[in-house]
Structure 1
Amino acid sequence: MSRGTQLPRLPWELTDAIIDHLESDSRALGVCGMVCSEWLKRSRHYIFSTVQLWPWRVRDFVHLANSKTSTIPFHVHRIELDDSRVRKQSTENIQFCDTLSLLQLPCITSGVKSMSIRNVDWTAFSPTEQNHARERLAKFQHLNRLEFDNVVFHDLREVVRILHSFPLIKYLKTDVNFMKYREHAVASAVTLRLPASLKCVEVGPSDDAIPVVLSCISACAANAGNAEPHVERLSIRGIKVDHLPHVRHTIRKAGSYLHRLTLGLDNLPLEAIEKEDLSALKFSRLVHLRHLIIEGLQLSPKSGILKSTLPRLLSRLESPFLQLIELDFVFATGKSRGDLATDLEQLDWQQLQRVLMELHFFGLRRVAMKIRCQKGSNENATPGLEDGLRRAMQRTRMAFKDLDGRGVLDLSFVQC
């Protein structure tokens, strides 16, 4: 090769696409970062985009971030804090309040947009410490996503105070518990106002969060005008029997503003679903709904959830904007060596198909159905069971041949 010949080079668009494809492979990203300075910038964007600041890591990270030659903090967009991730017999474990104090560096606070706080007892702090913690959190002025996982508060007021510290907040996750009795926590929640910028709320699965947070959302919707901003995406997981009245009330009050609704019934027994009658939920209020997800629907050959409960519930949808319905079923058999395929074929899908076809006629674009099959505790996966599930899938797809023929149905089976 002559001295003037240039080595072949890939265009930056292609190398960026390759690095983007490796976003979840930290080892490969580390290798890419050693190629050249341009690859290093792109790789660091993914390697350090999320930083898990467990108590024994905080001091080293702050020392690195405070270095004049370090460029890593400018790539950090999400911070995860977990007070339970301590190292035994370590002197480097930093408590939550002290962690927030150490993170008060402009290079950190200016770039972080998402924060997760886990396993923290806020009630263990004195009133002065709570004020200091809230003031330090407020330094993250670009934060738009805040997640609380297993965090204990006195009531919802402190959560709302924290939210109002962030002018750009859009997403809130509340897997929280409250020290006050539920009646008192709900009574104070209905007097609170959520930030106008908040668009997405994920509630649960903690038992306290669902009634308290939903009461606040319902009160905000009832007291606000149609022209004011509202929560548009609501996810409720871990719904139990005593939560259903709160869910029903929230849909009645705030349903006309919702674009996406997720209902997780994983902890709700089949008998309770049929007794409470899910069709009593005011789905007719969801006039702007685009995406509906219902998880944890328990199937049984003897249950009426396919013949009556679910069809009646979905038939009340009147949104002209509806694009997608996702239904997640759990099919459990008590037989230690039961034939899942045979049991699945006994289910009557015709009423559900009829309702879904009607919704498709009025604009529904896609239906995604997942059936999670639970084997008996003593039954091992065998090739015969796999073949039986495939036959059941084919038989089930025949029941939905109209939806499937129109390219609307996405059906999948999962063994768990």
Structure 2
Amino acid sequence: MSPALAQDLPPEVVDFIMDGNRGNRKTLSSCALVCKAWLPSSRYCLFSEFDIYVGPTHGASFLKLLSNPSCTIIHCIRSISIYPGVPGPEGIASVGEKTMAGLAKLKHVASLRIHNHRGCIPKETLASISSNFDEVTTLRMSNRFPSFRDAVEFVAMFPALKSLVFYPYCVNAASDTASDVSIPSTLRSLHLHSPFTHGAWFSEHHNQLDSVILSAIKTTDVDRVKEMLAAFGADLRHLSLGFERPQSVFDEQQSARDLSAAVNYACNPSLASLELKIPGASGGFLLAILESMRTPNLRRLTWDTGSLRPVPDWEKVDTRLADRAAFKRLNQVHFLSEGISVRVQLPKAEAMGIKILGSEVQRR
């Protein structure tokens, strides 16, 4: 395509081209050179995400760029990940006022990730981060806190927060409670790693969520998961349950057995999407879990175990999935399991208009 023709393309077409190549920085760089009209859109995609390592000798070039009057990418940056650039226990704790002042120029950041395992970030630094990025709607916390209360207080500093990913590294489970702390009412999505420690707090104090991901669930956590789902109730529309990889065959069987016996999702009548990740669970438990489910409004089901052996009773599985009394709105079932083509095993479900995706579909 000649530069003259490219120049005349409608803006929405240019944006579509750039968005389709968002993960290919080389192609985006080439697109930026096609013509002047393509530059803003390609630049937005190129510079929308940044990883920065902060510390006395790190991040200086990036901060210098931001302070340059000729810098025009500041308004493009929508996502930033902050990593420690200092060895030792301090990590991000050594971030100075000059660094924070430089980052304060990024007024349009909507997604923030903080990754710091080496030590607890001082409250003053956390307060500075939250005040600089007060438009953040997605927060990923992979850092240490002295107590769970400190973590919740930090979350509460983001008034527009909609999505929270929380990895509670080295948070003291026996720390003081946070019953008097209110997190933003805008929060609708929660991804909680290892729900045993603090999952109950979220279900008790902020249960108006429509999307919940619980990962690193242990076999002993099933009862707690049941309590959390009951608290989330009718608001919950999207749910993903991911169990830890079992230590033995008994554990893998126990996870699936306990889940089918304790959790039927009847307390979540609006549930539209369910993903179950039970590493090592054999295909024999698939039917038991399907029979236990009370999800009439479910539209999408994903079963991720890594294996469907021993092979389940496909005829019974097919009959269960095709049962419109049990699954009135089910239109897609995705099996992320290796070694078996499931589509040919479920003719009744397909005849009911349910799209069957098998292991030939590439994992996300």
Normalising TM by the smaller chain, what interval?
0.7 to 0.9
Residue aligning to 1:380: none
Counterpart of 2:299, as a letter, is Q
Distance change >3 Å, CA 411–CA 360, structure 1 → 2: farther
With over 3 angstroms needed to count, the CA separation of the structure-2 counterparts of 1:145 and 1:350, relative to structure 1, is: same
**Correspondence for 2:123:** 130
**Contact 1:306–1:349 (CA<8 Å) still a contact in 2?**
no
Larger radius of gyration: 1
Gaps of 5+ in 1: 1-5, 223-229, 333-342, 374-388
Alignment partner, residue 337 of structure 1 = none
Q: Which residue of 2 aligns with 1:411?
A: 357
Shift of 1:298: 3.1
1:207-226 aligned within 5 A: 207=194, 210-220=195-205
Kindly provide the amino acid, as one letter, of the partner of residue 199 in structure 2. L
**CA 190–263 in structure 1, closer or farther in 2 if over 3 Å, else same:** farther
Contact 2:235 2:268 in 1 (8 A): yes
Name the structure 2 match of 1:11. Answer: 9
Distance 1:166 1:95, change over 3 A: closer
2:249 counterpart of 1:271: no
Relative to structure 1, the CA distance from residue 37 to residue 406 in structure 2 (aligned partners, 3 Å threshold; closer, same or farther) is same
Which of 340, 343, 357 is the matching residue for 2:322? 357
The 5-angstrom pairing of residues 199-278 of structure 1 reads 199-204=188-193, 207=194, 210-220=195-205, 230-268=208-246, 269-278=251-260
* Residues 97 and 113 of structure 1: CA distance in aligned 2, closer, same or farther (over 3 Å): farther
State the alpha-carbon separation in 2 of the partners of residues 250 and 35 from structure 1. 53
Asked if the contact 2:253/2:282 (under 8 Å) is kept, the reply is: no
- Aligned residue among 160, 166, 169 for 1:177: 169
Q: 1:152 aligns with which of 144, 151, 169?
A: 144
Equivalent AA in structure 2 for residue 23 of structure 1: R
Change beyond 3 A, Cα 1:138–1:352: farther
In 2, the alpha carbon distance for the partners of 1:371 and 1:364 equals 21
Question: Contact conserved, 1:189 with 1:215, CA < 8 A, in 2?
Answer: no
What's 2:186 paired with?
197
Q: Deviation per CA, 1:160-195, whole angstroms, max 9, x where unpaired? A: 211221111001000122342x3x24x715554332
Superposition TM-score, scaled by structure 1 size: 0.75
Q: Percentage identity across aligned positions?
A: 17
- Coordinate RMSD, CA, aligned: 3.0
Question: How does 1:10-159 map onto structure 2 within 5 Å?
Answer: 10-13=8-11, 14-55=13-54, 57-83=58-84, 95-98=92-95, 101-105=98-102, 108-123=105-120, 125=121, 129-149=122-142, 151-159=143-151
SS at match of 1:80: strand
AA aligned opposite 1:196: S
SS class of match (2:95):
helix
For residues 276-309 of structure 1, the C-alpha deviation after alignment (integer angstroms, 9 at most, x for no partner) is: 34331251100121211112353436xx41342x
Matches within 5 A, 1:264-343: 264-268=242-246, 269-296=251-278, 298-300=280-282, 304-308=284-288, 310-314=289-293, 316-318=294-296, 320=297, 322-331=298-307
The aligned counterpart of 1:376 is none
Q: CA deviation at 1:54?
A: 2.0
Classify 1:161/1:140 alpha carbon distance in 2 versus 1 (closer, same or farther; 3 Å).
same
- TM-score normalised by L of structure 2: 0.85
State how far apart, in whole Å, the 1-side matches of 2:119 and 2:209 are: 26
Q: Is the 8 A contact 1:221 1:253 kept in 2?
A: no
The structure that is helix-richer by fraction is 1
Q: Which amino acid aligns with 2:109?
A: V
Identify the range of structure 1 (59-68 vs 8-17) with the bigger mean alpha-carbon deviation: 8-17
SS of the residue 1:177 aligns to: coil
Contact 1:368 1:409 in 2 (8 A): yes
- The one-letter code matched in structure 2 to 1:217 is F
Aligned equivalent of 1:225: none
Q: Give me the whole-angstrom Cα distance separating, in 2, the residues matched to 1:119 and 1:107.
A: 20
Change (3 A) 1:11 1:399: same
Equivalent residues of 1:81, 1:117 under 8 A apart: yes
How far apart in 2 are the matches of 1:115 and 1:99? 19
